[in-house]
Amino acid sequence: MVAAASVVVALGMAAGVLTALGDGDDGDGPSGADRARPKVSATLLAPSTAPSPSLSGSPSASAPTARPTPSPSRTARRPQAAAVTTSLYRHPESQVLDWVRANPADPRTAVIESRIASRPAAVWFTEYAPDTIASRVRAVTAGAARQGRVPVLVAYAIPDRDCGGASEGGAPDLDAYAGWIDGFAAGLGSGEVVVVLEPDSIAQTDCLDEAGRADRLAALARAGRVLKAADPKARVYYDAGHSGWNDPAAQAALLKQAGAASAASSDGIFSNVSNFHRTADEVAYDRRVLDALGGPPGLGAVIDTSRNGNGPPTGGEWCDPDGRSIGRAPTFRTGEARIDAYLWVKLPGESDGCKGAAGEFSPSYAYELASS
């Protein structure tokens, strides 16, 4: 299945504020036909200037063919130890917060504020700006540390990201990317942080030749080692696509080459970033990937639940499909073995490009997701 993520919007950086987290409705149930494109969409700020295309799932490439949904794994592995800090961090700058502050009298504001804007979401770093990446990361991690909360950061600057689709961009080459990762790592500080490392970078490698694929996977392995060496409390997760994409064994083989089975570089995998697949399907899929991956027993998975409350649409629609809903609220308390967290990596309401410009906040879409 070809991957694609929406466009990330670069907003500006600032210090942080907090938010409490709780569990929300999931709406999980039997899933329909799976033809949704893997979408990673823009969530929160990152760079500094105006909107710039980035992110893995994008409105490009032809619709992929469906793959069967994997069945749950019955082999339970010891879940990763709970974090010392159990509350996620909400950065005080995002498009949804900007809209809520600017539109207090809008009849949709109360619903959007309570069900979306109040939730902690990931902060994306998508711009190749090596001179400022450390300070921009540090602004987020320092804000989180002041509140005793855990930030979720998305590193998204791998060369040839999105295979030249709508989210193309990133570092000019892998040597430059290594320097960018070094700067990213320098901003982590010494506290707890979750790093979602390069959405779609492993599941979507069809556009690379064999040598290019091997080079990318080696670069990702190095990135994980650098991040964890810089901050031993950092938890780094690698791209597993989602339950409707690659076969678990095939995905695990790629993940292993990228260092995801090594405790020196990895805490496990992430799935469903900017997509719509039901949490139950992702839990089953992620466990199968982890089984095939091997590695230390503490490896776990995190799942993007931001828009999966009603499951995936039928017919392969991926661009702001109707009838979707927000999923479970972000939390470390999943109650599921080997599932470390449910996260909002894609901020609900940021468009895939059909109900607004790609990566930009659409209040009508946000309201639809929050009230479904």
- CA neighbor of 300 nearest in space, from 237, 256, 243: 237
Tell me, yes or no, if 247 is annotated catalytic. Answer: no
Q: How far is Cα 215 from Cα 51, in angstroms, rounded to an integer?
A: 29
- Residue 68's contacts (CB-CB under 8 Å, 6 or more residues apart) are none
Asked if 328 and 318 touch (Cβ cutoff 8 Å), the reply is no
* Residue among 26, 34, 160, 200 flagged as catalytic: 200
Tell me, yes or no, if 25 is annotated catalytic. Answer: no
| Residue that the structure tokens 């950061």 belong to | 153
* Residue among 28, 34, 162, 239 flagged as catalytic: 162
Q: How far is Cα 287 from Cα 270, in angstroms, rounded to an integer?
A: 11
Beta bridge partners of 115: none
Tell me, yes or no, if 160 is annotated catalytic. Answer: no
Point out the residues that are catalytic: 162, 200, 352
